[in-house]
Amino acid sequence: MSTTHLHTAPDHLVITAPTLKSGMAWVEQCLGVSMAPRIGGQHVRLGTHNALLSLGEGFYLEVITIDPNADAPGRPRWFGMDQLSKDAAPRLAHWVARTSDIAAAVAASPISPGVIEPMSRGALDWLITIAADGALACDGVMPSLIQWLSQPHPASALPDRGCRLQQLILEHPAAQQLQAAWQAIGLADARIVLKEGKQASLRAVVFTPHGERVLG
């Protein structure tokens, strides 16, 4: 199968936290910008909710937590959220890359990004890959894949706080295999830096009105 037509690009960062309040406060402390008023909503199908922050055109940051007012989904939640303890520290846990043909991208990738699932939140509709057990592929370094079915992109509705992603620095013992997977799905972006490391890690360098700040 030819994959030359595939084009995949960074879409958003995923910050996990025990509560939206703690996650938003952590982002505000790290970047020095406010996430208020909260823009986001509920993912009824998976019992989670989120808050969003623009990081430039076509890219944003998502704080996502279990929604205490939602019913349990009866299946594993995404982004490894069922394993989060109530006193877990907020962190950059994962990232998501968008593609115009998610089925072809999943088929082309030698590393499974998960099973394609339909999702919605308010007026937004999309397809996204989620592991059957809810775990993060390659400890969060392999991105989930997303295909937006609704327009416009969510980042277009977010206020500009003057924040821009400079680099997403990723480390993993299987960096060569990850690089091969990204090449297979057409993922290439100068802001994404992949290094071989003894363990998985994710750090985002963000330009803010206060200079460069780091989320990790």
Rounded to the nearest 10°, the torsion over CA 179, 185, 188, 193 is: -30
CA 83 to the chain's CA centroid: 17
d(CA 78, CA 133): 8
Q: Is the dihedral of CA 172, 178, 180, 185 positive or negative?
A: negative
- Distance between CA atoms of 58 and 154, rounded to whole angstroms? 8
Tokens 């520290």 map to which residue?
Answer: 89
- Please tell us whether the domain made up of 8-215 is placed in CATH 3.10.180.10: yes
User: How does the average pLDDT of the chain come out, rounded?
Assistant: 95
Q: Which helix (H) or strand (E) holds 60?
A: strand 60-66
Burial of 52 (0-12, 13-18, 19+ CB in 10 A): buried
Taking residues 51-63, what's their average pLDDT?
A: 97
* Res 31 pLDDT > 90: yes
The Cα–Cα gap between 160 and 80 comes to 29
- Taking residue 28's Cβ as centre, other Cβ atoms within 10 Å add up to 14
* Residue-range domain boundaries for the chain: 8-215
Predicted confidence (pLDDT) at residue 174 exceeds the cutoff of 80: yes
Under the banding of pLDDT at 50, 70 and 90, the label for residue 5 is confident
Is residue 10 predicted with pLDDT exceeding 80?
A: yes
pLDDT at 4 over 80: no
- Torsions phi, psi of 28, nearest 5? -60, -40
Strand-strand pairing, 144-148 and 164-172: unpaired
Q: How confident is the model at residue 108 (pLDDT cuts 50, 70, 90)?
A: very high
